[in-house]
Amino acid sequence: MRCPSCGHLESKVVDSRPSDDGAAIRRRRECLACQHRFTTYERLGDNPLLVTKSDGSSETYDRNKLLRGVTVACAKRPISPDQITSLIDDIEAELRSMPRNELTSRDLGNKVLERLEKIDDVAYVRFASVYKDFQNIEEFASALEELR
């Protein structure tokens, strides 16, 4: 593992423990060159999930991209980072249990909206406004009515 501080390729594992309910292993490492400590996560590698976008193109599912979108929607709301991580973990568990490894961006967005609706209305509307690409106030008002 390359050290994020100096770029040296050799490090030693200082601590290792399960993370994300056993879905990953969290490792604390120490660079053998500069003694900088950093954290890595080891996850099960399997067939990548493909997300088909609305324009017909496909891309590999990216946890960090989904995490960024949900985090922006939840900004300045009473939602903890652990709740956001749990939401993403829950979606990933559902995706991994699907019989196929391809889904549409619409399906993925709907899975996020289902969970955000239960957590926080404002985060739901924020995510929906980007995900559903509201073009006018009527579309926005319609999404608000759905929450009632």
- Are residues 81 and 126 located together in one domain of the fold? yes
Residue 47 tokens read as 């067939």
Count how many domains the chain has: 2
Beta sheet of 50-52, edge-to-edge order = 58-60, 50-52, 102-104
Task: Tell me what pLDDT residue 137 has.
Answer: 81
- Are residues 95 and 117 located together in one domain of the fold? yes
Q: Are 95 and 109 a contacting pair, CB within 8 Å?
A: no
Q: Is residue 4 situated within a structural domain?
A: no
Per-residue pLDDT tens over the stretch 15-64: 999 987 777 899 999 999 999 999 998 877 667 889 999 899 999 999 99
Q: Is residue 35 situated within a structural domain?
A: yes
- Are residues 129 and 81 located together in one domain of the fold? yes
Task: Tell me what pLDDT residue 97 has.
Answer: 86
- Are residues 64 and 103 located together in one domain of the fold? yes
Give the separation between CA 110 and CA 107, rounded to whole angstroms.
5
- Are residues 75 and 17 located together in one domain of the fold? no
Give the confidence band of 133 by pLDDT, cuts at 50, 70, 90: confident
Q: Is residue 54 situated within a structural domain?
A: yes
The pTM (predicted TM-score) of the whole model is 0.65
- Are residues 32 and 105 located together in one domain of the fold? no
Cβ-in-10-Å burial (0-12, 13-18, 19+) of 7 comes to: exposed
Angle at 132 between CA 49 and CA 77, to 5 degrees: 90
Task: Tell me what pLDDT residue 46 has.
Answer: 62
Q: Is residue 130 situated within a structural domain?
A: yes
- Are residues 83 and 117 located together in one domain of the fold? yes
Q: Are 10 and 34 a contacting pair, CB within 8 Å?
A: no
Domain span at 58: 50-147
Could you tell me what percentage of the chain is helix, strand and coil, using 3-state DSSP and rounding each to the nearest 5?
Answer: 45, 20, 35
Q: Is residue 34 situated within a structural domain?
A: yes
Per-residue pLDDT tens over the stretch 70-117: 999 999 999 999 999 999 999 998 988 888 889 999 999 999 999 999
- Are residues 35 and 102 located together in one domain of the fold? no
Q: Is residue 3 situated within a structural domain?
A: no
- Are residues 126 and 59 located together in one domain of the fold? yes
Give the separation between CA 80 and CA 70, rounded to whole angstroms.
12
- Are residues 29 and 65 located together in one domain of the fold? no
Q: Is residue 30 situated within a structural domain?
A: yes
- Are residues 21 and 69 located together in one domain of the fold? no
